[in-house]
């Protein structure tokens, strides 16, 4: 419930602040025009899967529709768009004259900014900070590794959080729109990288320790050698 509330707050923030159109503000208050910009009376969202999949797609649609009901904004949903080129879908949505299109999957982080530049319709993308363009492209960041690392740290029964961290991270990635194969690949890569980070300092210490002993013994050995020479 807290996650859904936070997501609705994020959507509302996009409508009120982040997607100012071409230097003018966009107001999302019952469709009333702002003093500087245009009224927001319609917003669209594109999801790769079903709007009722009990996951990331449904969360986005439900949250946006809740905000739309609260603020008198029409919401158009394009579901089951998949991960192929969604430009035709975006063009169909643009024909309905929305003031914002939310591209609700990390797989859309390239095609949607390109479409925004072409059409002039503001978009919100997932995890593509490089694409941010004031008044045109906004970015939503989801960081699965932080919550997964914390879950692994708190799981005292699992050494190094093994298993717990991977399950949480895979679930978060799939919820963010990643495919099963992509999620598994990222989880495995993350575990390998974390293992390297945990082992490498110990290996370096073990390699340096004999060298330090040799350096510490060297002055005494030189002194004994000098006395023996006499």
- pLDDT value at residue 214: 58
Domain boundary among 140, 157, 172: 140
Q: Are residues 74 and 173 in the same domain?
A: no
Q: Contacts by 220-228 with C-beta closer than 8 Å and gap 24+?
A: none
Question: Domain holding 36: CATH number?
Answer: 3.40.50.2300
228, part of any domain: no
Domain boundary among 104, 120, 140: 140
Model confidence over 172-217: pLDDT tens digits?
Answer: 776 655 667 777 887 888 888 878 887 888 888 777 766 666 555 5
Domain count, the chain: 2
Tokens coding 9: 């707050």
Tokens coding 68: 């739309």
Domain boundary among 84, 107, 140: 140
Q: Are residues 123 and 192 in the same domain?
A: no
Residue 72 pLDDT > 70: yes
Would you call 49 helix, strand, or coil by DSSP? coil
- What is the band of 224 on the pLDDT scale with cuts at 50, 70, 90? low
Would you call 179 helix, strand, or coil by DSSP? coil
Kindly report the average pLDDT of the chain as a whole number: 74
Which residue matches tokens 């030189």? Answer: 222
């Amino acid at each position: 419930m807290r996650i859904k509330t936070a997501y609705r707050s994020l959507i509302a923030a996009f409508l009120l602040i982040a997607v100012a159109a071409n230097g003018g503000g966009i107001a999302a208050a019952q469709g009333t025009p702002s003093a500087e910009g245009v009224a927001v009376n319609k917003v669209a969202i594109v999801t790769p899967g079903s709007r009722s999949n009990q996951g990331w797609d449904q969360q986005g649609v439900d949250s946006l529709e809740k905000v739309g009901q609260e603020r008198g904004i029409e919401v158009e949903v394009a579901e089951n768009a998949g991960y192929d080129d969604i430009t035709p879908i975006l063009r169909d949505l643009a024909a309905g004259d929305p003031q914002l299109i939310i591209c609700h999957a990390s797989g859309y982080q390239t095609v949607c900014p390109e479409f925004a530049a072409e059409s002039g319709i503001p978009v919100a993308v997932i995890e593509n900070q490089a694409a941010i363009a004031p008044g045109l492209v906004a970015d939503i960041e989801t960081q699965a590794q932080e919550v997964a690392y914390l879950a692994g740290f708190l799981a005292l029964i699992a050494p190094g959080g093994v298993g717990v961290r991977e399950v949480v991270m895979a679930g978060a990635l799939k919820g963010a729109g990643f495919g099963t194969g992509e999620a598994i690949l990222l989880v495995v890569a993350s575990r390998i990288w974390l293992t390297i980070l945990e082992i490498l300092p110990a290996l370096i210490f073990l390699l340096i320790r004999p060298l330090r002993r040799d350096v510490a013994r060297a002055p005494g050995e030189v002194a004994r050698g000098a006395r023996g020479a006499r």
